[in-house]
Amino acid sequence: MKVCCKWLASANGILATHAHESDQARRQQLGFGSTEDTRRLLETVQRYAAIVMGARTLIANLAEWLPLMRTGQHLWYIPTQFQQSYQHLLPVLQSCRVVWVSSAVPPGERDSYLPSSFAQLPVTICQDAHARGLNHLLVLGGAQIYQQFLDTHTVTDLEMTFSPLLLARGIPLQLRSTVQLELMEMTQYASEVYVSYRVLNSSIGSEPSGGVGSPG
Ligand SMILES: NC(=O)c1ccc[n+]([C@@H]2O[C@H](COP(=O)([O-])OP(=O)(O)OC[C@H]3O[C@@H](n4cnc5c(N)ncnc54)[C@H](OP(=O)(O)O)[C@@H]3O)[C@@H](O)[C@H]2O)c1
């Protein structure tokens, strides 16, 4: 199984929050996320069958992702502790293949909910995707979700783009894990650097047919 975390960071490794990101004009003004990086992100997404996106990230970027969600090409796992806060989204997401991942599953709603304890979130999602035959999982954030996947070693690949910005605000990744990385690619765009790594000590098999282990 392949599980990839992909993000866009400043040169000092800070993830922009939606205050910077949600407004395309503001993003361009900051020089955050070039057209080339956006193109590459969309190409990458096409190689994955399932996507994980925290509820907060989804809300912050809904307008950008909704057209893709509505194509029905991907299964979207949306972790949230408070799904009732997002009831207003249900009609908007009606035609999308969405699975809410939560410890609190409303009765009679099992089809579009995946029960998971907070600590088991990454493993639960990986096992569910594997059971559905979806062996390519792309984790698109945000910071809380990246941290949990990395801390539990349920990541096989990392892709990141660094923009030539030094951000004071935003979300630094606070990791507990000792993920070991092997550099696979480094490409310079006009002003950005794209880097991809393979995770050497992932707890899950990186082959599409590989299983899903327990967190290390
Ligand atoms: N620069 C980048 O590449 C990039 C990428 C993605 C996102 N972002 C930005 O990052 C910001 C959001 O990041 P974030 O860290 O605040 O939020 P996030 O990771 O998108 O989502 C966090 C939310 O997910 C739910 N959650 C987290 N862990 C869970 C678990 N174990 N089980 C169930 N639910 C869980 C909770 O939702 P509830 O609060 O609803 O319970 C939590 O508040 C946004 O501004 C977004 O634009 C940047």
Q: How confident is the model at residue 22 (pLDDT cuts 50, 70, 90)?
A: very low
Q: How far apart are CA 165 and CA 141, in angstroms?
A: 20
Token couple for 171: 């979300």
Q: How confident is the model at residue 193 (pLDDT cuts 50, 70, 90)?
A: very high
Token couple for 154: 């349920």
Mutate to test the pocket of ligand 1, among 24, 51, 64, 81 (most ligand atoms within 8 A of CB): 81
pLDDT value at residue 200: 96
Q: Which atom of ligand 1 is nearest to the CA of 119?
A: 31
pLDDT value at residue 216: 37
φ, ψ (nearest 5 deg) of residue 148: -70, -40
- Ligand 1 proximity of 5 Cβ (cutoff 6 Å): no
pLDDT in tens, 58-88: 998 898 899 999 999 999 999 999 878 888 8
Please say whether the beta carbons of 50 and 129 come within 8 A.
Answer: yes
Domains and CATH numbers, the chain: 2-199 (3.40.430.10)
Q: Which atom of ligand 1 is nearest to the CA of 61?
A: 47
Q: How far apart are CA 116 and CA 83, in angstroms?
A: 13
- Ligand 1 proximity of 80 Cβ (cutoff 6 Å): yes
Q: Among residues 97, 36, 86, which one has the least CA distance to residue 60?
A: 86
pLDDT in tens, 101-154: 998 877 666 678 999 999 999 999 999 999 999 999 999 999 999 999 999 999
**Rg value, the chain, Cα:** 17
pLDDT value at residue 215: 41
pLDDT in tens, 149-160: 999 999 999 999
pLDDT value at residue 12: 87
CA of 156 to the centre of ligand 1 (A): 20
Average predicted confidence (pLDDT) for the chain: 86
The reported pTM is 0.92
Q: How far apart are CA 104 and CA 83, in angstroms?
A: 8
| Across 12-34, average pLDDT | 62
Instruction: Say if residue 19's pLDDT is above 70.
Output: no
Q: How far apart are CA 216 and CA 210, in angstroms?
A: 16
Mutate to test the pocket of ligand 1, among 57, 62, 117 (most ligand atoms within 8 A of CB): 57
Please say whether the beta carbons of 137 and 129 come within 8 A.
Answer: yes
Atom 7 of ligand 1, nearest CA residue? 142
Please list, residue by residue across 146-167, b when 16 or more beta carbons sit within 10 angstroms of its beta carbon and e when fewer do: bbbbbbbbbbbbbbbbbbebeb
**Choice between 173 and 4, residue whose per-residue pLDDT is larger:** 4
pLDDT value at residue 20: 52
Which residues, in sequence order, are CB contacts of 14 under 8 Å at separation 6+?
A: 167, 169, 170, 171, 172
